[in-house]
Amino acid sequence: MSDTAFSARQRESPLSRLASQVRKYNVVFVVADQEPHLLEHSVQGMARHYFMFMPERGSPAMDWCERLLRRHLPPGRDPSLELTSLGRGECFYIGPHGLFRVRVKREEMRAAWWWRRELEKKRMELEERRRRLIIEVGRRIWMPETVDETRVEEVARRHRVSKDKLLGKIREIDREELGRALREKNWKRLAELGLWDIKRAKPKMLGYAVLEYYGLEWPEGLE
């Protein structure tokens, strides 16, 4: 191999080398580039399928697309006008069977956005569950709080609830989280904590007892 050939080999890009070698192994790959005119000729020459979206007007990419499109258009058709007429979600496809104008259905695009939104909502829900789990584990294991059992017994007797149930709820429920649920009037969360009766839309007796122990109050009009 001559020095010139060796130097050219060194300058060859990985993509160009891939294009020159994979054909013998029947390997197919996709190249997407906003500047196709800059791709090596070995890469451009092996392409069998082209998808051309509207390039920037007056750019070298536009000239490259026009030259390619002109070879497949009927006589008299201006490739520049054809390219600039492409709308959102439209492209020209050139393949072994000719030239086609392709349009992606808007419903499919909306579906993709919908799934991304749902995945983001699920991610936020999981993050919230993770945060609550960290708080709960930290409260139970690493940051144990002293419970005044004498006061628990007094409050339980006053509200006619089981001392053991009240003690369990106090150890289970974080005061900060409870206060936030009350401020936001998050009845669903209060029901999950066992303090709110969804059907009757009123606090449970255990709810009154827990709030009294923590020195909290129900929103005005609920007591």
Q: What integer pLDDT is reported at residue 82 of this predicted model?
A: 92
51 sits in the region (left: phi over 0; alpha: psi -120 to 50; else beta) called beta
Virtual torsion, Cα 8, 14, 20, 26, nearest 10 deg: 170
Tokens (6 digits) for 25: 């192994």
Comparing CA positions, the residue from 58, 92, 96, 55 lying closest to residue 73 is: 92
Q: What integer pLDDT is reported at residue 39 of this predicted model?
A: 84
Which amino acid is present at 106? R
Q: What integer pLDDT is reported at residue 1 of this predicted model?
A: 43
Strand ranges in the chain using DSSP code E only, listed in sequence order: 50-52, 90-95, 98-103, 196-197, 202-203
Residue 104 DSSP SS3: coil
Between the CA of residue 173 and those of 9, 18, 89, what are the distances in Å?
69, 61, 52
Q: What integer pLDDT is reported at residue 60 of this predicted model?
A: 92
The stretches in the chain having pLDDT less than 70 are 1-12, 106-110, 135, 138-145, 221-223
Q: What integer pLDDT is reported at residue 218 of this predicted model?
A: 86
d(CA 134, CA 129): 9
Let me know if 47 is exposed, middle or buried by CB neighbors in 10 A (0-12, 13-18, 19+). middle
